[in-house]
Amino acid sequence: MEHPHFNINRRRFVQGAGALALLSGLGAYGMDWTSRSTPWKVGLIGTGWYGKMDLWRLMQVAPVQVQALCDVDRQLLEEAAAMVLERQPGSRPRLFKDYREMLADTELDIVLIATPDHWHALIAIEAIRSGAHVYLQKPISVDVLEGEAILAAARKYKRTVQIGTQRRSTPHLQEAKKRFIDTGMLGKVGHVEMCCYYHMRANGNPPLQEVPDFLDYDLWTGPAPYRPYDGLPHRRWWRTFMEYGNGIMGDMCVHMLDTVRWMLDLGWPERISSEGGIYVQKDGKSNIADTQSAVFEYPDFSCHWQHRTWGTPADPQYPWAFKIYGEKGTLAGSVMQYDFFPAGGGEPIHGDVIYEREKYPGDVTEVDIELHAVPATRRHMLDFLSAIETGNLPFADIEQGHISSASCILANLAMQVGRPLRYDPVRKEIKGDPEASKLLRRPYREGYEHPYPVS
In one-letter notation, the amino acid at residue 412 is N
Average confidence score pLDDT of the chain: 93
Task: Please report which helix (H) or strand (E) contains residue 275, including its range.
Answer: strand 271-277
Between CA 374 and CA 352 the distance in angstroms is 15
Between CA 81 and CA 69 the distance in angstroms is 7
Tell which residue, 244, 242, 217, 245, has the closest CA to residue 231: 217
pLDDT by residue (tens digit) across 193-237? 999 999 999 999 999 999 999 999 999 999 999 999 999 999 889
Residue 214 has a pLDDT of 98
Residue 172 has a pLDDT of 98
Q: Is the bond leading into 453 cis (omega within 30 degrees of zero)? A: yes
Between CA 442 and CA 422 the distance in angstroms is 18
How much of the chain exceeds pLDDT 70, in percent?
Answer: 93
**φ and ψ at residue 233, rounded to 5 degrees:** -70, -25
Domains of the chain as residue ranges with CATH: 10-21+168-366+398-440 (3.30.360.10), 25-166 (3.40.50.720)
pLDDT by residue (tens digit) across 46-64? 999 999 999 999 999 999 9
pTM above 0.95, yes or no: no
β-pair type (302-308, 337-342): unpaired
pLDDT by residue (tens digit) across 405-438? 999 999 999 999 999 999 999 999 999 999 999 9
**Contact assessment for residue 200 and residue 310, using Cβ atoms and an 8 Å cutoff:** no
